[in-house]
Amino acid sequence: MAFHSYRPLLLAGIGLASILLLAGCNLAPRQPAPAAPLSQGWKASAPAGWVSTDAYQSWNSGQWWQLFGDEALSALMPRVEIGNQNLALALANVAQAQALLQQAQAQLMPTLGAQLAVQRGSGTAGTAGSASLGLTGAWAPDLWGKLNNAVQAQGANVQASQANLAAARLTAQGSLAQAYLALREADAEAALLQEIITGYERSLTITENNYKAGIAARTDVLQAQSTLESARSSLQALKSGRTTYENAIALLLGEPPANFSLAQRPWINTVPQLPAQLPSQLLLRRPDIASAERAVVVANANIGVARAAWFPSLNLSAGVGGAAANWASLVSTPALTWSLGATVAQTLFDGGTRNAAIDQALATHAAATASYRQAALTAFGQVENQLTALDSLGRQITHTRAAAEAAAGAEQRTLNSYRAGISDYTAVVTAQATALTTRRALMQLELARQQAALALIQALGGGWQAPWLEAEAS
């Protein structure tokens, strides 16, 4: 066979190789995501031994709620995954993003089609039939990386949706823990009030007996009654608040409030023990920061998509088929025909649309970069605020506990003086009010410290447990 017989195949091979080389082009900027503005230390007062470090790069959030040592809370947490509808929405968004990624990946592949037709009819020459078979194929090579950049952008969108799912999970878990701790504190405060009410009832009985005996004035009885009813009113308010927290927990678990209840249990007012090290790089695993970083990747890939619009597009097509009076002649070689084609398209004038699209993509990238850095700065601020709150609450609790002990002693001494006829009942009422207020304030401060620790856990993206801490401890 002469060389000229191979020349079309050779030219086609050279052309295909050139197309494949061009398909490797990528017009997106080759730049990494901007570094988060991590600091080397914490401004707020932290426990002795706390340091920042950049030597460790692996995270493990774990089941952070176990740090509070409450079995009932730990039993509720898995139910969030099952019933919480915000999590169901975020999970559906992940599935949608994954489906869109598959669609984007499919654009890189050629399309194939087939057509089969059989006809039979009658005419003046009698009955006749015909059959036709055709196969077609088409492929648009990704010469300038437009499709690959779209795939990269959608892949980052999938990761961002997964981060949003993690954020929704952390938010739901944190809200559940907040409501649960508040409910248990309300139970403890209600138990305190019930104990106080019992004491007030005894005081009222003593005062009434003294009044009947002519020892006490009528005003003493009225003051005792007022103090007792005020405490009872506070108890009812606590019960109403407890119901509100219980309803909030039910909704977080995806259950109707009428079908959900939590039995009273002792309040475990434990505050998690903070670690010796708190690496600032823990913030990089926060779901909102991870999502913001993925948005930068998406914006960077979209710059390449916008730039590719300036270059021509190439579409390749091929077909093979034939038509005959019967199947035997249809599949024979003389009955078959084939075709190959290529189409190049280029926009010559668009009034600046493509330039504007590139400018928009660049501005979107700048905005995503600023948003990512701001998310990191916000996270630092939240951690600093909770460290400050924990330190301040610890000091307040120390002083308030001392005040509660002193107020309890003053209450008992004043009551003894009244029973001995040394002081009037007004002093008793004042001492009782002070003692009750300080004891309730102490409980509320202890709850605030628990919730500050919980907020710190969330600010760090789900606790501070990390594999390297266990390794160093061992």
Task: Please give the average pLDDT of every successive group of 10 residues along the chain, which has 474 residues.
Answer: 45 49 58 58 44 35 82 93 88 88 84 79 64 79 78 87 89 94 96 93 90 89 93 95 96 93 93 76 80 87 81 75 62 64 77 86 90 88 90 94 95 89 86 93 96 92 64 52
- Residue 334, SS3 per DSSP: helix
pLDDT digits (tens, 9 = 90+) for 455-469: 999 898 887 765 544
Structure pTM?
0.78
State how far the alpha carbon of 95 is from the alpha carbons of 91, 132, 152, 290, in Å: 6, 42, 17, 18
- Amino acid symbol at 294: R
Domains of the chain: 27-110+145-313+355-473 (1.20.1600.10)
Query: 243 CB contacts (<8 Å, ≥6 apart)?
Result: none
Q: What is the helix (H) or strand (E) element at residue 392, kind and residue range?
A: helix 353-419
